Amino acid sequence: MMRLKGGPGRDRFNRRDFLAAMGSGLTIAASRAEEVAAVQPRRSSDIVVIGAGAFGMWTALYLQRLGAKVTVVDLYGAGNSRQTSGGETRGVRTSYGDRPHGRQWTEWARRAITRWKQWDEEGQDRLLPRLFFRTGDLILRGETNTYITDTLSNWDALSVPYEVLTPDEVSTRWPWIRYDGLGVALYEPDAGVVRARRAIESVARVFVENGGRIEVGQAALGDRQGRRLGNITLSSGDNLSADSFVFACGPWFPKVFPDLMAKRLRISMGHVFYFSVPPGDRRFVYPYMPSYGVPGCTGWPALPLDHRGFRVRTGGRPPDDPDISDRWVAPQYHERPREVLRRHFPDL
């Protein structure tokens, strides 16, 4: 990370440093107008981040490490069950051959894996919970297709370790995985699983312990001069002003900026199931079972620390309003994950 020169306080952080750190992130610079408003906003920070999910909390933490005084605002709080980042677990892999920007995504994911390991090492002194589990990722397909060839091309270009396995090799390593009808197998040994909700809670804890502030409440755009935002208004009635504002709203973006963001995001709601593992059966538990991807489904082993079970994620559906949507998976979608178990993991 870059280190800033200067004395303590806001003088250590300037707009150039912020833009360099943020790249092309969505920011709205605040006005330094000298006019006094009828109600003087409370200047809380150099920067206010709206949204306490993965993008928001990590952005806030890194800006804090650069020397900025940062406040985070979220309607439900960090690690809540409605945010995209608030799920139990998330897979971290580099196999993005089916994406238009797959090589860039592959590089980002590779760096993320390294950083997750570093975070766990750094967090030992704070007694933070372990977040990353290196499960490896097994990709099974019926035949070689564009996804496979482009993934291999990206891996070769970026020197990502991988193995191309034969059916016999798959059955030897993991005899409880059924490979019938699938002729292609790739294995990425460094891929893994992150405890997503725990991650947000851990980042929020470190952020607050280092002097950051998290406000729970709804934020609305406040005073503006042209295209420059002066402050935001909270549902409590407080106004927060800052030099800069960062909006990290995830699926709330179409509600916050409907004209700007409504047609720029593709948001899906996946169907996630956890199946119990027979007592004493270690085959489907980390570290004996890899993460996996079969046609139409991804998943990973049970993590002993959480005891949630064996994860199966099938296709999703378009989301409803993230504030009021029903997150239960309707009964008509329950058969597909059981079909995956019968075909590939019949002992479950």
Domains in the chain and their CATH numbers? 9-83+198-261 (3.50.50.60), 268-348 (no CATH)
287: cis peptide before it, omega within 30°? yes
**Looking at residue 10, what is its pLDDT?**
42
Average pLDDT over residues 275-286: 96
For the residues 24-33, what does the mean pLDDT come to?
39
Q: Kindly indicate the confidence band of residue 13, based on its pLDDT and cuts at 50, 70 and 90.
A: low
Contact residues for 333 (Cβ-Cβ < 8 A; gap 6+): 271, 314
Q: Are 96 and 106 in contact (CB under 8 A)?
A: yes
Q: Is the pLDDT of residue 31 over 70?
A: no
278, 275, 300: which is closest to 290 by C-alpha?
300
Q: Over range 109-114, report the average pLDDT.
A: 98
pLDDT at 43 over 80: no
- The stretch 145-160 carries a mean pLDDT of 98
Cα–Cα distance measured from residue 255 to residue 149, given in angstroms and rounded to the nearest whole number: 38
Taken as a whole, the chain contains a residue count of: 348
> How do beta strands 70-74 and 47-50 pair?
parallel
For residue 33, pLDDT over 70 is answered with no
**pLDDT above 90 as % of the chain:** 76
Q: How many Cα atoms sit within 13 Å of 224 on the Cβ side? A: 10
Q: Span 105-127, mean pLDDT?
A: 97
pLDDT at 42: 59
At 2 the pLDDT is 29
Confidence of residue 122 (pLDDT cuts 50, 70, 90): very high
- Of these ranges, 24-33, 88-97, 309-318, the one predicted with the greatest mean pLDDT is 88-97
* pLDDT above 70 (res 12): no
Compute the average pLDDT of residues 238-260: 95
Query: What per-residue confidence (pLDDT) applies to 216?
Result: 96
Cα–Cα dist 209/346, whole Å? 47
Residue 34 confidence (pLDDT) above 60: no
Biggest alpha carbon distance in the chain? Answer: 75
The answer to whether residue 38 scores a pLDDT higher than 60 is: no
Percent of the chain with pLDDT over 70: 87
44 pLDDT band (50/70/90 cuts)?
A: low
Residue 32's pLDDT is what? 37
Per-residue pLDDT, 53? 97
Task: Indicate if the pLDDT at residue 4 is higher than 80.
Answer: no
For residue 46, report the phi and psi dihedrals to the nearest 5 degrees. -70, -40
Which of the four pLDDT bands, split at 50, 70 and 90, describes residue 326?
Answer: confident
Mean pLDDT of 60-67: 98
What pLDDT sits at residue 325?
A: 86
**pLDDT: is 270 or 335 the higher one?**
335
Return d(Cα 167, Cα 199) in angstroms, integer.
36
Question: Is pLDDT at 137 greater than 50 in this prediction?
Answer: yes
Residue 22's pLDDT is what?
A: 47
How many other β-carbons are positioned within 10 Å of the β-carbon of residue 150? 18
Model confidence at 202, pLDDT cuts 50, 70, 90, reads very high
- With 70 as the cut, is the pLDDT of residue 134 above it? yes
Q: What is the pLDDT of residue 290?
A: 99
Mean pLDDT of the chain: 88
Nearest of 62, 61, 84, 57 to residue 73 by alpha carbon: 57
What's this model's pTM, rounded to 2 decimal places?
Answer: 0.86
